[in-house]
Structure 1
Amino acid sequence: MQAAFLPGDSTVELREVERPVPGHGQMLVEVRASTICGSDIRAIYREHLGTGAEAYQGVVGGHEPCGVVVETGPGVAERAVGDRVVVYHISGCGLCAECREGYQIACTSPRRAAHGWQRDGGHAEYLLAEERDLVVLPDALSFVDGACVACGFGTAYEAVVRAQVSGRDRVLVTGLGPVGLAAGLLARRLGATTVVGSDPVTERREFALSIGAVTDVHEPGTPVPGAPFTVAVDASGNGAAQLTALTSLGRWGRCVLVGEGASLSVEDVSAVVIHPSLTVHGSWVTSLPRMAELLERLVEWDLHPEVVVTDRFPLADASTAYAAAAAGRTGKVVIEPQSGVRL
């Protein structure tokens, strides 16, 4: 089968590899959609920056896969051939407190392995996954919807739930890439009538307005319309934007930081954080139960995450797909390994 690898230096390498065979408790998933995450660009595609949990081990790329189970190994208990599934992209030890709560993302065992980082990911025709790491995709949602949930929408949902967003809130989202777009869409579904999106890229601000992710937009360097806010979500991974998120909050405001890779400098912590009595959350991806909950909510809300997708490519054009995502002017970019199969 064909698979895409990320050797660094902003390149993608297509190779022919053996189709994997499921072992005990494993399932073979025919990948129908595999979206590109900003972390893939930041820490793997351009150069291999990560260590530990973010160390890329030369595996098949892509940690946001969704598809159909086509083969099962011995010991599989609940999933079956034909099931439509979203893959939770971190496979933990299954024994620590974090894994038992469904937060495999926080597993610190040496056995922890993330798809697309330490074990083969979704940029291939087939993916080998543990049964315990699969979540059923409702029939009302597309495979592209599911791939968007596998990391981006799951991360955004964790953030807005942590912030307890409701109809009483005015929300600022800094960074209108795919996670920021998801945060805006989800905040609005949770009742927020005011959601302002901030981003330096004109195309991204316009796209956010066009899909209803935000009610107004902000260009950095100008006054933020609607401030002060009760909730701010930073999805930019940019220190200046994170500071804007904090300083745009009113007293008792809640801020959630999900964008990675930034250096945040606060000149006067007392004035910015302590005296306004802010609550600041760091939020890293989401849990299996929360992901399953989100999939159910998306059906109830009639919200399709694929609304944030602007570009689709076959696996053979994975290099072009990554170049588009790395340019930072698109919404979500999706790779569809099974060419000719309706998603």
Structure 2
Amino acid sequence: MKAIVFEDFKTFPTLKDVEKPIPGPGEVLLKVAGAGACHSDVAVYNEFEEGTPGAVPPPFVLGHENSGWAEDLGPGVSGIKKGDAYLVYGPIGCGRCRACSRGQDTYCENAATNPYLGVGLGRDGGMAEYVTVPARNLVPLGDADPIAAAPLSDAGLTPYHAIKNSLPNLAGGGRYALVIGLGGLGQIGVQILKALTGATVIATDMKPEAMAKAEAAGAITVGGGEGQVERIREITGGKGVDAAFDFVGASSTVKVAAQSMARMGRCTIVGIAGGTFEWSFFTNPYEATLTNTYWGTIEDLHEVVDMYRAGQIMPEVERYSIDDGLEAYRKLQAGELSGRAVVVPHGS
């Protein structure tokens, strides 16, 4: 079968023929419906270096945002119907620690000794015609479009978890939320905030077309650059935002988020651009929290699918064949995509 493979650090992936996988005990073979191309994939093959934190040793098939139809069941699997569509929860922990027991494999206490981080992160992923996944990691999609759903396993789950944790800060009237970075995650973040809260959503980015999409989803937009924080605080009547979500994570965007906070607000850094921030008792608003999140829980993903099936969130996707999958990564790396690239190995 055809697959897009990460073969070495600092090396662009390759399209090659590999063996079709066979599901082992407790696993399901999926006929891949869609696999989302994520900036994290670019970090895997282009930014990380061998032996550094976050580096996942090659080779393996890329793709951690996956959906597909159950094709075959491994030994011991029940409750999965062949032919049904599922969304894949990508992280895979040890399955026995406290974090994994609550469905939060991203925070597995034994991550350092696990053989891989997840599907498409050390273990072969969904940028292929077929992929095997643990049956536990499948979330049923019903009759919803699995191709458009594929990015939700990260680009939907990650903002959802961050926003869900911040809901107490956005409960009540007169609340403000700030979204920084209007790529795939930020756009869905705006949709989630509008669906789950009554807060006024402020969204900021450097690209006018990205801000136009956020405005269409109900956000008030502020362009990046000089005076950005002042304009954000002006919209809030001077008090600042009650919850901020930085989907970039660069030093400059973390600074904007922190400086836009209200007292007792919550600032969540979601993006992993490696930025840093200097904290001071005299500049941090009293009792304002600076935190971070990574992906989310299996339970969260079930709730994301519920929102998707209800029409509350809808990712914008650009579809590519498996033969054009490398072009999707090239455009992603060059910043030429307006939506989420989804590789469709078996046609639309």
> What TM-score, normalized by structure 1, do the two folds share?
0.90
Query: In structure 2, how many angstroms separate the alpha carbons of the residues matched to 1:33 and 1:105?
Result: 22
1:1-80 correspondence to structure 2 within 5 Å: 1-7=1-7, 8-9=9-10, 11-45=12-46, 48=49, 51=52, 54-80=55-81
Q: Please point out which of 288, 304, 308 is paired with 2:298.
A: 288
1:156 alignment partner in structure 2 = 159
Q: Please point out which of 324, 332, 335 is paired with 2:331.
A: 324
Distance 1:50 1:89, change over 3 A: farther
Question: What 5-or-longer segments of structure 2 have no aligned partner?
Answer: none
Q: Percent identity?
A: 27
Q: Please point out which of 189, 214, 234 is paired with 2:246.
A: 234
2:186 alignment partner in structure 1 = 180
Distance 1:51 1:85, change over 3 A: farther
Q: Please point out which of 128, 134, 137 is paired with 1:133.
A: 137
Contact 2:177 2:243 in 1 (8 A): yes
1:269 aligns with 2:280: yes
Distance 1:317 1:245, change over 3 A: same
Query: In structure 2, how many angstroms separate the alpha carbons of the residues matched to 1:181 and 1:54?
Result: 28
SS class of match (1:92) = coil
Q: CA deviation at 1:48?
A: 4.5
Contact 1:90 1:112 in 2 (8 A): no
Moved more, 19-28 or 47-56: 47-56
Question: Alignment length, in residue pairs?
Answer: 333
Query: In structure 1, how many angstroms separate the alpha carbons of the residues matched to 2:202 and 2:157?
Result: 21
Query: In structure 1, how many angstroms separate the alpha carbons of the residues matched to 2:184 and 2:50?
Result: 22
Question: What 5-or-longer segments of structure 1 have no aligned partner?
Answer: none
Which amino acid counterpart does residue 145 of structure 2 have in structure 1? S
Query: In structure 2, how many angstroms separate the alpha carbons of the residues matched to 1:216 and 1:193?
Result: 14
Query: In structure 1, how many angstroms separate the alpha carbons of the residues matched to 2:132 and 2:165?
Result: 32
1:303 alignment partner in structure 2 = 312
Which amino acid counterpart does residue 131 of structure 1 have in structure 2? A
Distance 1:219 1:10, change over 3 A: farther
Q: Please point out which of 198, 218, 225 is paired with 2:223.
A: 218
Contact 1:12 1:318 in 2 (8 A): no
Which amino acid counterpart does residue 267 of structure 2 have in structure 1? C
Q: Please point out which of 296, 313, 336 is paired with 2:320.
A: 313
1:338 aligns with 2:341: no
Query: In structure 1, how many angstroms separate the alpha carbons of the residues matched to 2:106 and 2:172?
Result: 30
Query: In structure 2, how many angstroms separate the alpha carbons of the residues matched to 1:63 and 1:48?
Result: 20
RMSD, matched Cα: 2.0
1:205 aligns with 2:205: no
SS class of match (1:57) = coil
Query: In structure 1, how many angstroms separate the alpha carbons of the residues matched to 2:150 and 2:58?
Result: 22
Q: CA deviation at 1:195?
A: 1.3
Contact 1:4 1:123 in 2 (8 A): yes
SS class of match (2:60) = coil
1:124 aligns with 2:128: yes
Contact 1:25 1:75 in 2 (8 A): yes
1:98-113 correspondence to structure 2 within 5 Å: 98-109=99-110, 110-111=113-114, 113=116
> What TM-score, normalized by structure 2, do the two folds share?
0.89
Which amino acid counterpart does residue 128 of structure 2 have in structure 1? A
Which amino acid counterpart does residue 156 of structure 1 have in structure 2? P
Query: In structure 1, how many angstroms separate the alpha carbons of the residues matched to 2:45 and 2:218?
Result: 28
Contact 2:179 2:246 in 1 (8 A): yes
